Amino acid sequence: MLSKKSTVSFHGTEEQEKALLAVIEELKDEKGALMPIMQKAQDIYGYLPIEVQTMISNHTGIPLEKIYGVATFYSQFNLSPKGRYQISVCLGTACYVKGSGDIYNKLMEKLGIVGGECTADGRFSLDACRCIGACGLAPVMTINDEVYGRLKVEDIDDILAKYE
Amino acid sequence: MKSLEELRVIREKMQGTVEYRSEHESLADALASEHGKYRAHVLICGGTGCTSSGSQKIRERLDEEIKKNGLEEEVCVIKTGCFGLCALGPIMIVYPEGAFYSMVKEEDIPEIVEEHLAKGNVVKRLLYDETVKGDEVLPLQETNFYKKQHRVALRNCGVISPEDIEEYIGTHGYEALGKVLTEMEPKDVIQTLLDSGLRGRGGAGFPTGMKWKFAAANEADQKYVCCNADEGDPGAFMDRSVLEGDPHVVLEAMAIAGYAIGASQGYIYVRAEYPIAVERLNIAIKQAREYGMLGEDIFGTGFKFDIELRLGAGAFVCGEETALMTSIEGNRGEPRPRPPFPALKGLFQKPTILNNVETLANIPQIILNGAEWFAGMGTEKSKGTKVFALGGKVNNTGLVEIPMGTTLREIVEEIGGGIPKGKKFKAAQTGGPSGGCIPAEKFDTPIDYDNLIAIGSMMGSGGLIVMDEDTCMVDIAKFFLEFTVDESCGKCTPCRIGTRRMLEILDKITKGQGTMEDLDRLEELAAHLKSNSLCALGQTAPNPVLSTLRYFKDEYIAHIVDKKCPAGVCKDLLQYKIDADKCKGCTLCARICPNEAIVGKVKEPHAINPDKCVKCGACMEKCRFGAIYKE
């Protein structure tokens, strides 16, 4: 199980709150609107801390425990913030047979964190992901929107050094 | 809003443009044809594979160079969906010659523009080598990768711009919808599907017409058509390619389904991990509404149908039909017991059908070409074609569409170009975490739904991962169980706890601590999971273990009795050794070893101390003489 808890305190801005309320107003009468609201809330805040879940609950009338239940069920909802550079290593079958497990282990060792965590300086966060569909380039990892394919363990130092 | 007549006018206007991008007798013949305003069409792949290998930058450079050479009026650049040959990406095709440029680099663009686009000299040096024979440029369809393929679901992928509804209309798009609304009764549509023999492409292979018939028979004030685009099997990307390359075909088929069962609302549940697909679907829905292909009173027939997009949030179980509907309703995506089946009580407790993307992509053509046409392809009980995402240890990784009944050997050896580095084929995995491994001795089995089940695997959504002699089958079984343990939703006990217990046993075996009794325990647990789990995720989770136990039991025994991993994968059972004859004593390995496990004098053979070795493999990677091996 990956780390789901947040150790970083919440600092939401007024603009973010305004944006969230607008989203709730627009969607709340649609059938099954909770997930689209939560997805947009995560776009606004970058993650879904309990404070944001509480706001959604207060403005939609949906019980907080249900929102928390949904937030913890789906792997895309993050209860803790992400690093400036989000590393995601594909552990899909094709990448796995081509050695992406070694890449993932090496990153954990280099960064001193486990999957789902963020480094203390807020620089990198690390996750494993399912197939991103770039199997022809296996093994693959992404850092933010940049894709690194045909990776070798010894490439990692040089790649990490590019991100300050 | 367009009428049928206006649709025909658009089609006639666009048809020449689209057909220009196919094989022609000669260049002169092509240029003489109706091809719209552009002399050359440059198709660049904007699928996920090629985008990852940099096709966007190539596109920008191409636009720049075309402008520089003043060719904007003569050459058009179109971003298409996937061509299929992802291993050779980024891919670019120039028509009318059909010149197939592979692994295109940004710095090659000026030459392609100046020589080919401006002067008409194809730059042979940069073409995919299989399409060049002496001075001749061969059509792509004659290469090994494409020769045996037959494109039905993927027919427009890599041919049209997915962001232009008129190009889709140019390929007879939305004509099937026009035909059902004006010429067919709902029951005729369903009968056509039944006659065609189309079965669900998402995994289990349930007859599509039957599903529609059940939902049509149930009376309700509201019914729903859902599209399952939550493609979650690791290694599978067929549905994504259809959504990225030909999104309108899915919308058209859903509207046809809505007419057939009496539904006015559709939902597409698509993975949020597919941003390009989501973007193109949004564009397609918007355009379809503008053209009146979705919305009120379609083609003036009074039929109304609209589609909404819902994004998944990264839960594999949501590919299961009842879980998917629970998720659209805004809940934790946990499956529900059946019955009641979705055809009676599905989304929001209303009659619902759920079809997979690839299934839908076949439907408009079945309507236009007739059930007999479709039933004429494939095997006795599996009609039509199937798209496979070919990956793993195979030369041509990518997307292939083949008639049902093609053998695994044809796919791997002919289309896939065989195994890299001359290694031996060991097994192919189909069906993802629900499927199994097919061994080399079943290489000539014709692939269809029933044959795959008979040999212990399943069609699944169409991932096909090739494995060579370096793949450990126990490790693969463990990999898939790790996946299901992670993705089990936890609602029912057999799946939540059963998969975990099975994983623990496999873990023990890969560490050399297994016993022969563990194999019996695995089989017993597997039987419980199959019979007692709530949904297909748990019911099929043991398949990777059972199929590897069936065909590769000797490997399990080697791990248990001999404490060896024959493929050299399971770390705990490995030993790194140095071949004294090959070692030159360069000391590089000793310096790189993190645990000082390698000893030896300069210019004398070194040796590894097994007690200190942490099996990281760093020495083997660094050795320039190939002197380090594992066993």
Q: What is the DSSP string of B583-619?
A: -----HHHHH-TT--EE--TTS--EE-TTT-----HH
Q: Which candidate from B234, B310, B389 shows the least CB-CB separation from A130? A: B234
Residue A97 in any domain: the answer is yes
pLDDT value at residue B593: 78
Residue A9 in any domain: the answer is no
CATH number (domain holding residue B420): 3.10.20.600
Let me know whether B169 and B281 are in one domain. Answer: yes
CATH number (domain holding residue B524): 1.20.1440.230
Please say whether the beta carbons of B251 and B361 come within 8 A: no
The model carries a pTM of: 0.88
Residue in chain A closest to B469 (alpha carbons) equals A97
Say yes or no for a CB contact (<8 Å) between A31 and B348: yes
The helix/strand/coil state of B438 is strand
Let me know whether B364 and B217 are in one domain. Answer: yes
Crossing angle for the helix pair B247-261 and B238-245, to the nearest 10 degrees: 100
The helix/strand/coil state of B120 is coil
Residue B158 in any domain: the answer is no
Residue B565 in any domain: the answer is no
Q: Tell me which H or E stretch contains B543.
A: helix B543-551
Say yes or no for a CB contact (<8 Å) between A35 and B330: yes
Structure tokens at B152: 């039905």
Assign A3 a pLDDT band (cuts: 50, 70, 90): very low
Q: Where a domain ends, among A53, A73, A93?
A: A73
Let me know whether B511 and B552 are in one domain. Answer: yes
The helix/strand/coil state of B309 is strand
Nearest chain B Cα distance for residue A25, angstroms: 17
Q: Where a domain ends, among B375, B396, B418?
A: B375
Closest CA to B626 of B572, B577, B575: B577
Say yes or no for a CB contact (<8 Å) between B315 and A73: yes
- CB-CB neighbors (< 8 A) of B233 in chain A: 131
Structure tokens at A138: 């296996």
- CB-CB neighbors (< 8 A) of B429 in chain A: 93
- CB-CB neighbors (< 8 A) of A28 in chain B: none
Structure tokens at A94: 């094709």
Say yes or no for a CB contact (<8 Å) between A97 and B393: yes
Q: Is the pLDDT of residue B102 over 90?
A: yes
Say yes or no for a CB contact (<8 Å) between A39 and B311: yes
Residue A19 in any domain: the answer is yes
CATH number (domain holding residue B588): 3.30.70.20
Say yes or no for a CB contact (<8 Å) between B315 and A74: yes
Q: Kindly report the backbone phi and psi dihedral angles of residue A32, in degrees, each rounded to the nearest multiple of 5, phi listed first.
A: 60, 45
First to last CA, chain B: 69
pLDDT value at residue B292: 96
pLDDT value at residue A8: 58
Structural domain containing residue B325: 165-375
Let me know whether B446 and B307 are in one domain. Answer: no
Crossing angle for the helix pair B238-245 and B275-290, to the nearest 10 degrees: 40
Assign B357 a pLDDT band (cuts: 50, 70, 90): very high
Residue B487 pairs in a beta bridge with none
Let me know whether B102 and B178 are in one domain. Answer: no
- As a whole number of angstroms, the distance between CA B222 and CA B135 comes to 63
Q: Which candidate from B52, B330, B429 shows the least CB-CB separation from A137? A: B52
| Residue showing tokens 């001359």 | B422
Let me know whether A96 and A132 are in one domain. Answer: yes
Mind listing the pLDDT tens digit for each residue in B288-314? 999 999 999 999 999 999 999 999 998
Assign B204 a pLDDT band (cuts: 50, 70, 90): confident
Mutation choice for A interface testing from B45, B52, B320 by most A CBs within 10 A: B52
Mind listing the pLDDT tens digit for each residue in B568-613? 889 889 888 999 999 999 999 988 776 788 999 999 999 999 888 8
**Mean pLDDT across B260-284:** 96
Residue A80 in any domain: the answer is no
Assign A4 a pLDDT band (cuts: 50, 70, 90): very low
B326 interfaces chain A, CB cutoff of 8 Å: no
| Residue showing tokens 């499927």 | B435
Residue B455 in any domain: the answer is yes
pLDDT value at residue A7: 52
Please say whether the beta carbons of B278 and A36 come within 8 A: no
Which amino acid does the sequence have at B83?
A: F
Mind listing the pLDDT tens digit for each residue in B22-79? 777 777 777 777 677 899 999 999 988 888 888 999 999 999 999 999 999 999 999 9
Structural domain containing residue A62: 14-73
pLDDT value at residue B21: 87
Let me know whether B431 and B353 are in one domain. Answer: no
CATH number (domain holding residue A129): 3.40.30.10
Q: Where a domain ends, among B146, B180, B200?
A: B146
Closest CA to A47 of A83, A18, A100: A83
How does DSSP classify residue B265? Answer: E
pLDDT value at residue A92: 78
Of residues B210 and A137, more confidence is placed in B210
Let me know whether B464 and B489 are in one domain. Answer: no
Which amino acid does the sequence have at B616?
A: C
B593 contact partners, CB below 8 Å, separation of at least 6: B618, B619
Q: What is the DSSP string of B11-61?
A: HHHHHHHHHTSS--S-HHHHHHS--TT-SEEEEEE-SHHHHHTTHHHHHHH
Please say whether the beta carbons of B162 and B284 come within 8 A: yes
Let me know whether B453 and B490 are in one domain. Answer: no
Structure tokens at B613: 């070795």
Residue B8 in any domain: the answer is no
Residue A8 in any domain: the answer is no
Let me know whether B618 and B515 are in one domain. Answer: no
Residue B252 in any domain: the answer is yes
Mind listing the pLDDT tens digit for each residue in B117-159? 999 999 999 999 888 888 888 888 888 999 999 999 999 999 9
pLDDT value at residue B48: 85
Let me know whether B489 and B462 are in one domain. Answer: no
pLDDT value at residue A2: 44
Q: Where a domain ends, among B86, B115, B146?
A: B146
**C-alpha B18: how far from its chain's center?**
25
Residue B4 in any domain: the answer is no
Distance set, CA B335 to CA B320, B342, B355, B496, B538 (Å) = 7, 12, 17, 13, 11
Mind listing the pLDDT tens digit for each residue in B223-253? 999 999 999 887 888 999 999 999 999 999 9
Let me know whether B335 and B401 are in one domain. Answer: no
Q: Is the pLDDT of residue A70 over 80?
A: yes
Q: Max CA-CA distance within chain B?
A: 89
B335 interfaces chain A, CB cutoff of 8 Å: no
Nearest chain B Cα distance for residue A133, angstroms: 6
**Mean pLDDT across B479-506:** 95
Nearest chain B Cα distance for residue A88, angstroms: 12
Assign A135 a pLDDT band (cuts: 50, 70, 90): low
Q: Is the pLDDT of residue B213 over 80?
A: yes
CATH number (domain holding residue B170): 3.40.50.11540
Say yes or no for a CB contact (<8 Å) between A93 and B465: yes
What residues 474-533 of chain B have any CB closer than 8 A to a CB of chain A? 476, 479, 489
Q: Which candidate from B48, B316, B463 shows the least CB-CB separation from A134? A: B48
Tell me how many domains chain B contains: 5
- As a whole number of angstroms, the distance between CA B478 and CA B384 comes to 34
Say yes or no for a CB contact (<8 Å) between B52 and A130: no
Let me know whether A151 and A98 are in one domain. Answer: yes
Say yes or no for a CB contact (<8 Å) between B86 and A74: no
Residue B160 in any domain: the answer is no
Say yes or no for a CB contact (<8 Å) between A136 and B49: yes
Say yes or no for a CB contact (<8 Å) between A131 and B235: yes
Mind listing the pLDDT tens digit for each residue in B416-465? 999 999 999 999 999 989 999 999 999 999 999 999 999 988 988 888 99
Let me know whether B486 and B462 are in one domain. Answer: no
Let me know whether A99 and A157 are in one domain. Answer: yes
Residue B88 in any domain: the answer is yes
pLDDT value at residue B30: 73
Residue A91 in any domain: the answer is yes
Q: What is the ipTM of this complex?
A: 0.83
Say yes or no for a CB contact (<8 Å) between A94 and B232: no
- As a whole number of angstroms, the distance between CA B334 and CA B315 comes to 10
Closest CA to B402 of B391, B417, B412: B412
Tell me how many domains chain A contains: 2
Let me know whether A105 and A137 are in one domain. Answer: yes
Q: How many CB atoms lie within 10 A of CB A113?
A: 18
Say yes or no for a CB contact (<8 Å) between B327 and A138: no
Residue in chain A closest to B49 (alpha carbons) equals A134
- As a whole number of angstroms, the distance between CA B628 and CA B585 comes to 12
Residue A123 in any domain: the answer is yes
- As a whole number of angstroms, the distance between CA A139 and CA B546 comes to 27
